[in-house]
């Protein structure tokens, strides 16, 4: 029987990810205790983020039940001017870019993202500040009181993700945000976030992912993502492979207003990277002849397409009157200020190997990561620390990532869904691109330590394959270090 990586290390990592971080103020022991009690309560509900085998259906993910639950709170989701984003690759980056520009324009912006990289509070933020432990605990108590007063729910109990999503809606309503930027968790059609009346929907790049749940073809996955569309609501389609784009056009041929496809309306005329920013020259959009030059502090090559998608979304909001016209300076400064950790995040250390953290977890993401490494570190020896979740295209990912000369330390992603090392080795058996300098260490912290021992100061250590792995390494080794954008 195949064993998962739900080990003592995983459970300890999960607990550490909830740890209270002192932020130059006195620790409130009572608040801290309430926060951990809130987490214990929420994780007593089923979390499909952490389960390997479950049935994806409208019975398991019961949106009618969730709508009824939200109705008990007065339907907070309908009070939000929401921008709803789904996709396989880049949806978090696009959300971060849109939110950063809106904040720079002076608006109060709520952002709901999942899963979290280091701390569960990252999922819910207003104007870049995470929800506080005290507020998180207070909302959990309110949710618990409502749950305790209900009769047994038809079709099962609420899920962890439903409760966190409800908390986000309630917090954004209470804080009276001007805009709410909402990322789907899984798929789109049956996702708990798909209960809103958004002002805009955005579909980022679609890859084969969660094939045991969403379907084993790109068209099937696309159909699940497109489930967030609404009649009369504008939809922006980010960069897609040609076959998928043709399928999307067929599915949206009767959609009003017609979809805005960035592949057809926007293009990057040029791009270059410097010490702090990647500079992109954009053509298309509001004035198709006019060129716009923007800068982003994100260095993955894939951020080119994500930037075009974010700009297209902002343009559509402006065109539809949902957003006031923005000045050129507001767009450029908003993108310059975007923060999105763990996405080709570069850490340079004196007299030690450079480290790149990237959450690539699909074959497309792996190919984009390889392109970024070839662009920014073309001649440097690379040592990968790689761990994956079950159900991922591991063979395709490793083949796209590694050169024969690269070192690899395979490890176990700290999740109950983490693929065991033997499972990884079975997946990549006979893969010629994996060189002889290959190691297997189950504990991710030990795996990174081994990579450091293998690396020379001029080498690059790359941590990738899973958000959970990247988050644990970042929290343990780099949370207090300064990010740099040079090679």
**Helices 133-149 and 29-42, packing angle to 10 deg:** 40
Instruction: Label residues 400-423 b or e (16+ Cβ within 10 Å = b).
Output: bbbeeebbbbbbbbbbbbbbbbeb
Greatest distance between any 2 Cα atoms in the chain: 63
Lowest average pLDDT, out of 277-291, 375-389, 398-412, 435-449, goes to 277-291
Q: Is the pLDDT of residue 320 over 60?
A: yes
CA 320/CA 323 separation, integer angstroms: 8
Question: 297-309, pLDDT tens digit by residue?
Answer: 999 888 999 999 9
Beta strands in 113-239 (DSSP E): 124-126, 129-130, 179-183, 200-203, 235-237
What percent of the chain is modeled with pLDDT above 70? 88
Lowest average pLDDT, out of 111-120, 138-147, 435-444, goes to 435-444
Q: Is the pLDDT of residue 155 over 90?
A: no
pLDDT for the residue 15: 41
Closest CA to 191 of 86, 273, 112: 86
pLDDT for the residue 288: 67
Asked if residue 113 lies in contact with residue 352, where contact means CB atoms within 8 angstroms, the answer is no
- φ, ψ dihedrals at 335, nearest 5°: -70, -35
Beta strands in 225-373 (DSSP E): 235-237, 260-261, 266-273, 278-284, 291-296, 345-347, 354-357
Give mean pLDDT, residues 127-139: 96
Q: 3-state class of 93 per DSSP?
A: helix
Lowest average pLDDT, out of 177-181, 211-215, 285-289, goes to 285-289
**Helices 363-376 and 394-401, packing angle to 10 deg:** 10
Average pLDDT, the chain: 88
- This prediction's pTM: 0.89
Q: Is the pLDDT of residue 395 over 70?
A: yes
CA 175/CA 156 separation, integer angstroms: 31
Closest CA to 354 of 257, 432, 463: 463
**Alpha helix (H) residue ranges in 320-456:** 328-336, 363-376, 394-401, 421-427, 444-454
Q: How many CB atoms lie within 10 A of CB 193?
A: 27
pLDDT for the residue 452: 96
């Amino acid at each position: 029987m195949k064993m998962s990586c739900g080990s003592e290390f995983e459970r300890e990592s999960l607990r550490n990810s909830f740890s209270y971080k002192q932020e130059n103020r006195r620790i409130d022991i009572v608040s801290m205790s309430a926060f951990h009690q809130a987490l214990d309560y929420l994780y007593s509900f089923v979390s499909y983020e952490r389960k390997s085998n479950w049935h994806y259906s409208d019975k398991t993910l019961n949106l009618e039940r969730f709508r009824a639950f939200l109705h008990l709170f007065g339907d907070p989701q309908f009070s939000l001017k929401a921008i709803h984003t789904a996709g396989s690759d880049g949806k978090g980056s696009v959300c971060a870019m849109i939110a950063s520009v809106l904040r720079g324009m002076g608006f109060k912006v709520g952002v709901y993202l999942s899963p979290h990289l280091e701390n569960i509070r990252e999922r819910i933020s207003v104007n870049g500040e995470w929800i506080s432990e005290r507020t998180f605990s207070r909302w959990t108590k309110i949710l618990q009181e409502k749950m305790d007063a209900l009769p047994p729910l038809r079709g099962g109990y609420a899920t962890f993700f439903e409760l966190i999503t409800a908390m986000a809606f309630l917090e954004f309503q209470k804080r009276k945000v001007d805009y709410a930027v909402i990322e789907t968790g899984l798929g789109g059609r049956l996702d708990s976030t798909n209960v809103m009346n958004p002002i805009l929907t955005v579909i980022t790049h679609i890859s084969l992912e969660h094939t045991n749940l969403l379907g084993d073809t790109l068209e099937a996955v696309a159909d699940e993502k497109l489930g967030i569309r609404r009649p009369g609501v504008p939809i922006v389609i980010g960069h897609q492979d040609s076959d998928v784009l043709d399928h999307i056009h067929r599915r949206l041929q009767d959609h009003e207003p017609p979809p805005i496809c960035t592949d057809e309306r926007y293009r990057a005329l040029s791009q270059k990277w410097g010490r702090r920013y990647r500079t992109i020259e954009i053509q298309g959009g509001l004035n198709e002849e006019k060129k716009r030059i923007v800068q982003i502090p994100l260095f993955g090559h894939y951020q080119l397409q994500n930037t075009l998608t974010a700009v297209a979304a902002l343009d559509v909001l402006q065109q539809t009157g949902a957003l006031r016209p923005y000045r050129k300076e507001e767009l450029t400064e908003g993108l310059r200020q975007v923060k999105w950790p763990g996405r080709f995040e570069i850490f340079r250390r004196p007299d030690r190997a450079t480290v790149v953290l990237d959450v690539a977890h699909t074959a497309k993401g792996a190919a984009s990561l390889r392109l970024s490494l070839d662009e920014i570190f073309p001649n440097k020896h690379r040592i990968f620390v790689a761990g994956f979740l079950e159900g991922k295209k591991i063979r395709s990912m490793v083949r796209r990532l590694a050169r024969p000369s690269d070192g690899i330390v395979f490890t176990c992603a700290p999740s109950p869904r983490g693929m065991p090392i033997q499972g990884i080795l079975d997946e990549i058996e006979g893969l010629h691109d994996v060189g002889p300098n290959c190691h297997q260490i189950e504990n991710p912290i030990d795996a990174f330590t081994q990579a450091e021992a293998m690396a020379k100061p001029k080498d690059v250590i790359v941590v990738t394959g899973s958000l959970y792995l990247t988050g644990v390494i970042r929290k343990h080794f780099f949370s207090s270090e300064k990010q740099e954008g040079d090679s």
